[in-house]
Structure 1
């Protein structure tokens, strides 16, 4: 059994403080005690919002390891993440964005102990996109909670956006991670034990964020390594435009159904393994 819980590593943008509080509570419930987070704020974020989020972090008992401002180049997240991992030191690292709520089929110590016993240095996860019942990009309140506000879970990221839904959720300190925590080159994982990564990205305000991302990457204000991230944002914007401002939750490709952070989705091991082992990168040409 694991003696020391993993350190949580996260680079966090200008999210709303209630989401940060819910995220911290979720991972503390999983047994996380050590949070190494860095804030990054693009140029458009007002100082008041930045200070509010930093204060919220301290109220939660977490002193940010670092705060930076400026363009959100595609390599920015990777550089900040790797600096946090170096500071975290030896052991297991849990990697999660602030809109990702990981769900495991067993307690974290058991998950890591099984990985170690079977010779795996990483544990994989698969994104499960969470949306409101009608597909609208809703705001939420702590009183209602994320589960009630976004009750549907499905596969939007790869079946609409052609993004990589795979995640490395746990990794030994010396495992090199690709951008976005999607891969750990050279390391195999147990595809029969994939965790669910509940992805609460599709909230109010996201369309403005995506439009800003497309504009900055297109103009070169933010540097990109490939057009993939920009193309994924453009696909979501086009889809919402075609469906009167909402995500089409009735499209069978996305397999939306009611899910919860309290229990694993039914048939998840088979579903996750099938997607994880058959997904292939989309040929991003700049055109569809």
Structure 2
């Protein structure tokens, strides 16, 4: 009967058509399914993402940022430490200066001319330097009491004074050297040029103070002495003295090169005794 056809089971063509539709739908769903998008967002501070989908360049960039941050932190820590040490040192120095200003007395030496400014200074038999440098950081601070001041230069009479130093007080002494009328200058000389460090070291010829290195090491500068055998000594407190003996011929030009080694104050030059048979002079 014709009416019963509507209740019949679907034939193979219809079933195949339905299965084909479902199959295409399932296949379409697989084709349209995509991988989730890779995360490129920011990470929490101080961390590095371990997500395998995180781009390699992003992880490298984050590592560089952390390295820079740690380097900045280390630098700032070093700066803070250095500042603390510097501030502590300044406080200690200021405390020492304040203590010294109350306990020690200051001696200021004023040279009348260039000769006095280049003359050597001894306090209680100890050579300290040439007059014009004993100021500022090298100013003379002495213990209270009696002290012996001697200022010397080749060809001049020594300037000697006995001083009474009071605690916390500044004393000024004007130094003027007089020509030594007994000094004899040779008609023929030999020339000694100095190339010595430190340049503030004292030069002695035959035991007589001739000046300091800075007077004899520049262009057109030299030490003129009598020919013959001469004993040369170079000394400075805190350094080992240098001594040498040379035989100089008339009109000979001799160059002395050396550098003093660090030493003890116990190796300092003793007080000068006696006079040289010939005065020394600058070129």
TM-score of the superposed pair, with normalisation by structure 2: 0.23
Which one has the largest radius of gyration? 2
Q: Indicate the structure with greater strand content.
A: 2
Q: Indicate the structure with greater helix content.
A: 1
RCO comparison, higher one (Cα < 8 Å, 6+): 1
